[in-house]
Amino acid sequence: LVDLGIDDLRAHVAAELARSRQRSAELTGSVDDEDLVKQHSPLMSPLVWDLAHIGSQEELWLVRDVGGAPAIRPEIDDLYDAFQHARADRPQLPLLGPAEAREYVAAVRSKVFDLVDRVPLEGRRLVQQAFAFGMIVQHEQQHDETMLATHQLRDGPPALAAGPPPSDVDVLPPEVFVPGGPFTMGTSAEPWALDNERPAHQVHVDDFYLDSTPVTNGAYLAFIDAGGYDDPRWWSDAGWARRQQAGLRAPRFWWLEGDRWLRRRFGHVEPVPAEEPVVHVSFHEAEAYAAWAGKRLPTEAEWEKAARFDPASGRSRRYPWGDADPRPGHANLGQRHLQPAPAGAYPDGAAPCGARQLIGDVWEWTSTDFLPYPGFSAFPYREYSEVFFGADYKVLRGGSFGTDAAACRGTFRNWDYPIRRQIFAGFRCARTPRRGERD
User: Which residues are near ligand AVJ by CB under 6 A?
Assistant: 139, 142-143, 146, 414-415
Enter the DSSP assignment of 60: I
- Name the minimum Å distance from CB 306 to ligand AVJ: 22
Name the residue number minimizing CB distance to ligand AVJ.
142
Nearer to ligand AVJ, 142 or 216 (CB): 142
Distance CA 355, CA 365 (A): 16
Q: Which is nearer to ligand AVJ, 146 or 367 (by Cβ)? A: 146
Closer to ligand AVJ by Cβ: residue 60 or 293 = 60
CA 278 to chain centre: 15
289-309 burial code (b ≥16 CB/10 A, e <16): bbbbbebbbbbbbbbbbbbbb
Q: Which is nearer to ligand AVJ, 146 or 213 (CB)?
A: 146
Q: Are 297 and 365 in contact (CB under 8 A)?
A: yes
Q: How far apart are CA 171 and CA 341, in angstroms?
A: 14
Q: Are 81 and 45 in contact (CB under 8 A)?
A: no
Residue 121 or 423 having the CB closest to ligand AVJ: 423
How far is CA 22 from its chain centroid? 19
CA distance 90 to 193: 30
To ligand AVJ, the closest distance from the beta carbon of 194 in angstroms equals 8
Nearer residue to ligand AVJ within complex by CB, 316 or 385: 385
CB of 396 to ligand AVJ, least distance (A): 9
CB of 234 vs ligand AVJ, minimal distance in Å: 27
Q: Name the helix (H) or strand (E) containing 265.
A: strand 260-265
Q: Which residues are CB-neighbours of 54 under 8 A, at least 6 positions away?
A: 24, 105, 139, 140, 143
Q: Do residues 305 and 400 make contact, with C-beta atoms less than 8 angstroms apart?
A: no
Q: Which C-beta is closer to ligand AVJ: that of 142 or that of 282? A: 142
Closer to ligand AVJ by Cβ: residue 216 or 414: 414
| Cα–Cα distance for residue pair 281/272, rounded to 1 Å | 14
Q: What's the min distance (Å) between Cβ of 378 and ligand AVJ?
A: 13
Q: How far is the CB of 142 from ligand AVJ (least distance, A)?
A: 4
- Minimum distance from residue 412 beta carbon to ligand AVJ (Å): 9
Which residues 6+ apart lie within 8 Å of 363 measured at CB?
Answer: 396, 397, 398, 399, 400, 403, 414, 423, 424, 425, 426
Distances (CA, A) of 106 to 21, 26, 74, 216, 381: 10, 15, 16, 42, 25
- Minimum Å distance from CB 139 to ligand AVJ? 6
